[in-house]
Amino acid sequence: MSNNSKINNSLINNDFSHEISLTQNFNKINIKEIEPTTKVINKSIFEEDLSIVIDKLVNLICVELNKGKDSIVIKQHVFDYINNCKIILQEIYIYLLNNQNESNSIYLLGYFNNYGIETEVNEQRAIELYLKAANLENRVAQLNLVNEYIYGKGGYKNGDIAFELTKKLAEEEYACGINNLGYCYEVGIGTNVNEDKAFEFYQKAVDLGNINGINNLRIRRKDNK
């Protein structure tokens, strides 16, 4: 991956630092919040196997996001994949808690917190983990962050960062990023409204198979009639 394609980490953190102190909050995470450790993981499942499962789950989420799938649908596909692997959810959750050096593990723990998988829903913790993974150049974490910055609740919206981060993702041909960039131009998030650019990026997202791009184009065409 070229240096030009890397996200400017200082951009991600600057304007958001007053809302979340990533390092401090992350250190407060109680890794012992549940008693089991990796010792309770099924003996037939090696850590190397779980590492592969984690990578495939993150890839699955990334592919689904770029297709524009609904978050509920993606979550169900995550469950389906885990069930097909015959792995207990708690085993994966424990593994994630104990392996926070890899960006995919950091991201997926954030995803579990975001959607209440094997833990209570905790959006702040999810965003902290997304930020940490994003700063390690994890693209699916960056895609999720953009969604939080654009559509999120609870004071997490940040148009300037959303726009700059989305531009980088769009340059790397991530369909979800391209669609979100179109939305930024349509409603003026982090930039001036530009309907021509919005249409251009929506069309490009459609060409890459993004469902949301298709819906956005349909709405625009209906509004212009």
pLDDT in tens, 146-185: 998 998 766 788 899 999 999 999 999 999 999 999 999 9
| C-alpha to C-alpha distance for 86 and 88, rounded to whole angstroms | 7
pLDDT of residue 29: 35
Q: Which domains does the chain have, with CATH numbers?
A: 45-155 (1.25.40), 158-224 (no CATH)
Residue 8: pLDDT above 90?
A: no
Confidence at residue 92, expressed as pLDDT on a 0 to 100 scale: 95
Q: How many C-beta atoms surround the C-beta of residue 85 within 10 A?
A: 16
- pLDDT tens, position by position, 201-223: 999 999 999 999 988 888 766 56
Residue among 2, 38, 1, 8 nearest 160 (CA): 8
- Tell me: pLDDT of 225 over 70: no
**Whole-prediction pTM value?**
0.78
CA distance 131 to 139: 11
Percentage of residues of the chain with pLDDT beyond 90 = 67
In this prediction, residue 48 has a pLDDT band, given cuts at 50, 70 and 90, of low
Residue 154 vs residue 198, higher pLDDT? 198
Residue matched to tokens 């919040």 = 33
Q: What is the pLDDT of residue 103?
A: 97
Nearest to 139 by CA among 109, 101, 166, 112: 166
CB 123 within 8 A of CB 156: yes
Cβ-contact 133, 148 below 8 angstroms: no
CA-to-CA distance for 75 and 142, rounded, in angstroms? 18
Mean pLDDT within 4-19? 44
CB burial readout 108-119, b (16+ within 10 A) else e: bbbbbbbbebbe
